[in-house]
């Protein structure tokens, strides 16, 4: 073969060799996905105990248990919530960690801002994503300056009793 074929091939082989050498030097040997496959993604396996030792902030990650915990005092909201789309979202996603829930409800700060709703409901142009299934709005056009709760019940946005 002629030089014009070999030179680019040598460059590509050199780049691949450099990437593999960099990976060998830079990526720790204990870096991987662990025995659970990709469930916890790639991580440094020596760090697992550090993450396990982190103090918990959330009451529970299981939907049913969370509804039971919150439903002890907030049964009406839980009942409304579980009948529609927001029922799949754990309470703590919007209300924060329940382990910090004060005994005095007056001390509990609830974020009722428009920004909280826009975390999920801002219209995004991702037509191939599952994110498109969430109803979105253009925050620059839809009721600018007003909070969402002025018109929508956050536990069940389709309710018209607001």
Range of the domain at 107: 63-150
45 lies in the same domain as 67 = no
pLDDT above 70 for 48: yes
Q: What is the band of 138 on the pLDDT scale with cuts at 50, 70, 90? A: confident
162 falls within a domain? no
Among 87, 63, 105, which residue's Cα sits nearest to residue 159?
87
146 lies in the same domain as 76 = yes
CA 124, 125, 130, 135 dihedral sign is positive
Domain count, the chain: 2
pLDDT above 80 for 122: yes
Residue scoring higher pLDDT (104 or 17): 17
pLDDT above 80 for 16: yes
Phi, psi of 93 (to 5 degrees): -60, -35
79 lies in the same domain as 130 = yes
Among 54, 73, 70, which residue's Cα sits nearest to residue 62?
70
As a whole number of Å, the end-to-end CA separation of the chain is: 77
Residue 90, token pair as written in the block: 């754990």
Placement of tokens 């993450």 in the chain: 51
Return d(Cα 58, Cα 100) in angstroms, integer.
Answer: 8
How much is the pLDDT for 162? 47
Phi, psi of 43 (to 5 degrees): -160, 165
69 lies in the same domain as 108 = yes
Residue scoring higher pLDDT (154 or 32): 154
Query: CA gyration radius for the chain?
Result: 25
pTM of the model: 0.56
Return d(Cα 41, Cα 32) in angstroms, integer.
Answer: 8
75 falls within a domain? yes
161 falls within a domain? no
How much is the pLDDT for 61? 55
Q: Report, as an integer, the average pLDDT of 97-109.
A: 70
Return d(Cα 34, Cα 36) in angstroms, integer.
Answer: 5
122 lies in the same domain as 141 = yes
Residue scoring higher pLDDT (28 or 10): 10
127 lies in the same domain as 73 = yes
Q: Report, as an integer, the average pLDDT of 97-112.
A: 72
DSSP-based three-state secondary structure for 156: coil
């Amino acid at each position: 073969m002629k030089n014009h074929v070999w030179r680019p091939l040598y460059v590509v082989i050199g780049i691949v060799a450099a990437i593999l050498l960099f990976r060998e030097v830079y990526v720790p040997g204990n870096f991987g996905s662990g025995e659970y496959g990709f469930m916890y993604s790639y991580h440094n396996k020596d760090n697992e105990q550090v993450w396990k030792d982190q103090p918990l902030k959330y009451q529970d990650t299981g939907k049913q248990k969370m509804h039971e915990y919150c439903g002890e005092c907030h049964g009406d909201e839980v009942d409304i919530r579980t009948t529609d789309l927001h029922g799949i979202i754990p309470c703590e996603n919007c209300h924060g960690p329940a382990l910090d829930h004060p005994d005095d409800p007056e001390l509990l700060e609830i974020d009722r801002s428009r920004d909280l709703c826009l975390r999920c409901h801002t219209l995004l142009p991702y037509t191939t994503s599952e994110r498109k299934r969430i109803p979105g709005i253009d925050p620059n056009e839809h009721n600018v300056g007003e909070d969402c709760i002025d018109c929508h019940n956050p536990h069940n946005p389709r309710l018209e009793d607001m």
